[in-house]
Structure 1
């Protein structure tokens, strides 16, 4: 199911949305440069985290999971 969720997405629950927003605010203050930009490119691609109820997907994660599955964990 992880590949399907990463590909197709899933709605952000209230709990996940709350924690995601808290992480974003904390990382924005504590991290800089490459560490924060990499996190943002995945989890806040438009400069904000997805809101509660929004569908979030991660095609790059889906591709990584597919490669791992196809290689029986060798990827």
Structure 2
């Protein structure tokens, strides 16, 4: 059974809002973890060879992907 069928229009909007917040939180969580790890262990050489490049890739990904999520999310409404 499709959950959208059983919900009213306001229920769909609220559910969509919660799903979007969860999705955004799950996208930002790895970036927050890598930023914290890089800040705490910044004097260790392993950080600059493994975690810092990954952090740079995450920042580049989020710079492109998050604005596109918001843009296409606004088009759906």
TM-score category by the smaller chain? 0.3 to 0.5
Q: TM-score, normalised by structure 1?
A: 0.35
Q: TM-score, normalised by structure 2?
A: 0.34
Q: Greater relative contact order: 1 or 2 (C-alpha under 8 angstroms, separation 6 or more)?
A: 1
Structure having the higher helix fraction is 2
Structure having the higher strand fraction is 1
